[in-house]
A and B are shown apart, each in its own frame.
Chain A
Amino acid sequence: MRDHATEFPTRTQDETHTVGCTVNGREYEAVVDPRMTLADFLREKLRLTGTHLGCEHGVCGACTVIVDGAATRSCLMLAVQADGAQVETVEGLAEDGELSPLQCAFKRNHALQCGFCTPGFLMSVTAALREESVTTEEQAREVLSGNICRCTGYTGLVKSVLEASAGKEGNA
């Protein structure tokens, strides 16, 4: 056991890193402990509290953000890993105060109740719809299945994904 200690020297509290990244198009820089998660970095350092922590072990999906184009569980990623990355969070979805088509669909279809899981759903679906359109209910359920919602029973979410996807194609 002792040998490992020499291989992996104990890090002290004082050892910090500077993380610089772009969040929703704006550049940020902050000093963080190496063990700080990306979620805590966004919430505590940048005060972007729209990203929520539901389980902190990567299952519920509430903390999903988009990092360099990919939907990512921000509870499982360290802030230092996001150095130099392009991060998108729920705060960046509406442009000039106008809700995105997906956000509008959520409102129209009552796809949220308590709203705690909502940012994660929005980010997961936003990333998925950029990759491909969703035309069947089954596909919509697959797209949603990485996130957990305890309030809605998913019916409104399924409708929202289909409507947002159809709208997106319609606009193209």
Chain B
Amino acid sequence: MSDTLVPEGTMIGRRVERREDERLLTGHGGYLDDLDLPDALAAAFLRSPHAHAKILSFDATEALTLPGVVAVFSGADLMEIQKPLAPKVQHPQLRDYPRLPMPPQELHYVGEPLAVVVAESRYIAEDALELIEVDFEVLPAVASTAVALQENGPLAHSGDESNVAVLLTQSAGDAAKALAEAPNVLSEEFFVMRGGGHSMETRGVAARFEMATGQVTIWDTTQAPHYARQQLSVIYEMAEDDIRVIAPADVGGGFGPKAQFYGEEVVIPWVAMKLGRAVKWVEDRQENMVTSMMERSQTHRVDVGFDDNGLLLAVKDVIEHDQGAYCAGLQVPSITTSTVPGPYHVPNIEIELRACYTNMVPTSSVRGAGRPQAVFVMERMIDRIAEHLGLDPADVRRRNLIQADEFPYKVGIMFRDGSPLTYDSGDFPTLLEGTLERIGYTEARERQAKLREEGRYVGIGLSVYIEGCGLGPYEGAKIRLTNKGRILVTLAAAGQGQGYETVYAQIAADGIGLDMDYIEVKTGDTSRIPFGQGTFASRITATCGPAVMDAAKQMRERLIDTAAVLLGCDASEVDFVGDKACLGGDLEKSVSLQQLAQTANIGKHGITMPRGIKAGIETSSYFSPERAAYASGAHAALVEVDPETGEIEILKYVIGHDCGNVINPLLVDGQVLGGFAHGIGNAMYEEPVYDVEGQPQATSYLDYALVSATEVPPVELFHIQTPSPLNPLGVKGAGEGGTIPAPATIANAVEDALRPLRARVTRAPITPARIVDAIHRAESTSADQD
């Protein structure tokens, strides 16, 4: 990626280093736990040790005698806030269970909060947790979708009729008929394992109540401060204006789980209000492992019908989705159902969703959000089609890909944003061919054949994917000329490392026609801007970007009009030189931004404004996309597998990526490469295993393998840019594309490597033990056949 094509004087498209970096590199970031809140108390939660249990009795008498303990509240002590945390994405047929902030009676997963201790220090609060006596009646637990959906099996919620959350079907054409008539049909069952977000900073909430104003200030590591405020104003029955939610300028990663809303976010501010003291809770890593929402876990039973040339005729997929103990929203399974067809022509589609409740931590979006599973299923089946027909898997993809001249392309089913699934733009064949060229596909196939003769197992994996991103409903920006004569861009969106302070200054600089140095960006504080949605679904560049550009253009007009009045000239004669608005570029005939602020914003008390000057130089804009934009990409991996140990060595990896126009190539590359590492984790390492009783088995990084620099292979990344017609910047999301196809790509490569052994890869992550098992299974199957 190079910025040589960027027109001189514009900042969009330029590889600008980040403004955030200096404070973060010198230890002066301001993360939640760094806040200096004098006399703040520390909170710790008592959590359910059982996957499913009734609370029979609760006794905190001894805990309360411990010096330094200020208060202990059980769920029953805070009945006034025990109101359901609503699912984010709902459906009329959803059988929703109220997810209470701190349930007073029945608990539904290990880690669910049941009481909170507030003390002078976290050390003391944790001591107190040990002294609380709780009697439980342990109930049967549901620890998989298979158990959840079995007849007469245990129930995740006592007294319910079944564990089904929702049954939904999406279809286009007639898949059943097409499958019945197809000359070839292949079927398979796939399972994709849960995985977590694992931001390096855990979740945290701090709150302080101002008795004098009746306002509560809440610092929250959330990705969506306005969403949190909205939820809290309903639960607390307080006006929005009395609740200020601040996502600190520095939040240590999000990846989805921090876009959700949790009981702790309700309990901590409430307790701070009750006690009249500042209270801070910072999740520790063990809590994070069992209480921060996860994603992924899905079983797919797929049937694919195709002709003798490998052309897809029909896809039928039945998806079992693990909703966890409660439905935090149907966003993930509904994204999965609409991502299955991917970049291919699929004339007949039927996707059936069976979302069910289990006694595990609730699931919601984690980077990729329902898409990696869908891509895994479709891309594995494309490879199976190639194998069945003896075709090259690259050719099968070529034959089925939607072509560059077919946009907008209507798939025939609905997307999770409520609109018909319609791809806005893209060029999938160019992505595939570019990826094949860079992986050296033809030579790699030749080398593979040669190495196979030597008894070595080398495989090539390909994946092409699409990613619905830039979702609505809206995002906004406010721009103000400050009294000091600087431009302040305020976003509702809260960042977690994406570089908003840099990117949105670039956009505003172009919109106003001012140097970035005069522009400052602030994010994620409900008191600074009234409306907002939040950072999720790779949506901010495509929603907030156009809003900033529009507000910036308005700001330019306001500044220039004001300057023209002061300079006594026509607006068309005014332009900026540095921070001065000049007549015909002449610094002698200029007014500074500060003078403009002095005139239009500060004014003189009681004195009439100069004629023609409009008071208050502030602009705002909210952008509502018509529907989701579609980013896309292709991945290719060359791997060697050791059939004895099951070890996978990634020899080469190539990513082709298209997120439309690129605002800052340095940062977009960072997003893609970071997402890729997450994808490698999902492909080969990450497994939050629960046992049959619903007990989490991986609750530290000793048991849950997060990839380090030695596990992530070097990767060659290239971009193409097909602008989105859905927003004036032509941008799409970049945050998840690196993650989405990685498990599919590795799985395809591993099965391709082991093709002579007929070993089947049907699960992610693909671990050495599973590879060896698959080889053994294939050996015994072929022995049976002999």
Q: Which residues of A contact B (CB under 8 A)?
A: 13, 33, 35-36, 43, 47-57, 59-60, 62, 89-91, 93-94, 99, 103, 106-108, 110, 112-119, 122, 137, 140-142, 144-158
Contact = CB atoms under 8 A, between A and B. Distances in A.
B709 A141 contact: yes
B673 interface: yes
B496 A150 contact: no
B357 to A, nearest CB: 29
Given A94-B26, A145-B708, A152 B673 contact: yes
B709 A59 contact: no
Contact of B250 (A35, A106, A114, A150): A114
Contacts of B669: 110, 155
B607 interface: no
13 contacts: A48-B27, A50-B28, A89-B27, A90-B25, A107-B18, A110-B667, A115-B252, A141-B710, A142-B709, A148-B708, A150-B253, A152-B677, A153-B678
Interface stretch (B29-37, B106-114, B168-176): B29-37
B235 interface: no
A126 to B, nearest CB: 12
Contacts of A145: 708-710
Contact of B706 (A116, A118, A141, A148): A148
A117 B27 CA distance: 11
A114 B27 contact: no
B21 interface: yes
Interface stretch (B196-204, B335-343, B507-515, B744-752): B196-204
Nearest to B703: A59
Given A115-B252, A115-B497, A122-B25, 19 more contacts: A47-B36, A54-B200, A54-B201, A55-B285, A59-B702, A91-B28, A110-B17, A112-B25, A114-B199, A115-B20, A115-B25, A116-B29, A116-B199, A116-B250, A118-B25, A145-B710, A150-B678, A152-B674, A153-B677
B704 to A, nearest CB: 9
Given A62-B200, A107-B17, A114 B714 contact: no
Nearest to B699: A57
A53 B707 CA distance: 18
Contact of B26 (A54, A90, A144, A154): A90
Contacts of A51: 27
Interface in B699-739: 700-702, 706-710, 712, 714-715, 738
A85 B6 CA distance: 52
Contact of A155 (B26, B199, B715): B715
Interface in B400-453: none
Nearest to A142: B710
10 tightest A-B CB contacts, nearest first: A50-B27, A116-B252, A114-B497, A115-B24, A113-B497, A153-B677, A153-B673, A59-B701, A90-B27, A144-B709
B652 to A, nearest CB: 14
Interface centre among A53, A113, A156, by most B CB within 10 Å? A113
Given A49-B27, A115-B29, A154 B250 contact: no
Nearest to A112: B24
Nearest to A59: B701
A119 B201 CA distance: 13
A116 B17 contact: no
A150 B496 CA distance: 11
B205 to A, nearest CB: 16
Interface in B211-261: 250-253, 255
Nearest to B20: A115
Contacts of B68: 13
Contacts of A35: 123
Interface of B: 17-18, 20-22, 24-29, 31, 33-34, 36, 67-68, 123, 198-202, 250-253, 255, 284-285, 496-499, 666-667, 669-670, 673-678, 700-702, 706-710, 712, 714-715, 738
Contacts of A48: 27
Given A54-B285, A59-B702, A91 B27 contact: yes
Contact of B708 (A112, A147, A155, A156): A147
A157 B21 CA distance: 14
Contact of B674 (A49, A52, A94, A151): A151
A106 to B, nearest CB: 6
Contacts of B284: 56
Contact of B27 (A59, A119, A146, A156): A119
Given A55-B700, A90-B26, A118-B24, A154 B200 contact: no
Contacts of A119: 27
Contact of B253 (A33, A103, A151): A151
A115 B252 CA distance: 7
Contact of A153 (B255, B674, B701): B674
A35 B498 CA distance: 37
A157 B709 contact: yes
A114 B253 contact: yes
A94 B31 CA distance: 20
Nearest to A51: B27
Nearest to B681: A150
Contacts of B675: 153
B701 to A, nearest CB: 4
A56 B498 CA distance: 25
A57 B284 CA distance: 10
Best-buried of A116, A137, A147 by chain B (most CB within 10 Å) = A116
Contacts of B497: 112-116, 151
